[in-house]
Structure 1
Amino acid sequence: MSTVNRKYKDSVFVDLFSEDEKAKENFLSLYNALHNTNLQLSCPVENIRLDNVMYMNIVNDVSCLVDNKIIVLAEHQSTVNENMPLRFLEYVARIYEKLQAPTDRYLRKLSKIPTPEFFVFYNGLNDYPETTVLKLSDAFITKPERIPLDLEVKVYNINKSKGAEVLRRCKTLDEYSLFIEEVRLQTQLDPENGFTNAVKICIEKGILKEYLQRKSREVINMLVAEYDYDTDIAVQREEAGRIAFAQGISQGSRQKALETAKMMLTMGYPLADICKIAGISPAEVEAL
Structure 2
Amino acid sequence: DLVYIAKQLEKYTRDETIYSSTLVKIPVPRFVVFYNGTDGQPERQILRLSDAFEKETAEPELELKVLMLNINFGHNKELMEKCRTLREYSQYVDRVRKYAKRMQIEEAVERAVTECIREGILADFLSSQRAEVIAVSIFEYNEEEEMRKIRASEYKNGKEEGIIETCKDLGLSFEQTVEKLKLRFNISEQEAREKVRYLWDSK
Please, what TM-score do these two structures have when normalized by structure 2?
0.66
Runs of at least 4 residues off by over 4 Å: none
AA aligned to 1:218 is: E
CA RMSD across the alignment: 2.4
Q: Tell me how far apart the structure 2 counterparts of residues 118 and 91 of structure 1 sit (CA, whole Å).
A: 12
Bigger relative contact order (CA 8 A; separation at least 6) = 1
* Larger helix share, 1 or 2: 2
Secondary structure of 1:105's counterpart equals coil
Give the aligned partner of residue 212 of structure 1.
Answer: 126
Contact 1:130 1:164 in 2 (8 A): no
Does residue 106 of the first structure (1) align with residue 26 of the second (2)?
Answer: no
Aligned to 2:144: 230
Instruction: Write the distance in 1 (CA, Å) between the matches of 2:150 and 2:11.
Output: 32
2:6 pairs with 1:93: yes
- The answer to whether 1:175 aligns with 2:88 is yes
Counterpart CA distance in 1 for 2:81 and 2:148 is 32
Residue 187 of structure 1 is matched in structure 2 by 100
- Alignment partners' CA distance in 2, 1:206 and 1:181: 15
Identity of aligned residues (%): 35
CA displacement at 1:131 relative to structure 2: 1.1
User: Which one of 73, 92, 95 corresponds to residue 160 of structure 1?
Assistant: 73
Comparing both structures, which one devotes a greater share of its residues to strand? Answer: 1
* TM, length-normalised to structure 1: 0.48
User: Against the structure 1 CA distance between its residues 234 and 99, is the aligned structure 2 distance closer, same or farther, given a 3 Å change threshold?
Assistant: farther
Report the counterpart of residue 70 of structure 1 in structure 2.
none
- Which is greater in Rg? 1
Superposition pairs of residues 146-157 of structure 1, within 5 angstroms:
146-157=59-70
Structure 1: where are the runs of 5+ without partners?
1-87, 245-288
Give ranges in structure 2 of 5+ residues lacking alignment: 160-203
Counting matched residue pairs gives: 156
Q: Deviations over 1:246-270 (max 9, x none)?
A: xxxxxxxxxxxxxxxxxxxxxxxxx
Kindly report which structure 2 residues correspond to 1:20-31, keeping only aligned pairs within 5 A, or say none. none
Q: Distance in 2 between matches of 1:125 and 1:226?
A: 12
* 2:29 aligned residue (105, 109, 116): 116
Write the distance in 2 (CA, Å) between the matches of 1:205 and 1:103. Answer: 52
**Who is 2:56 aligned against?**
142
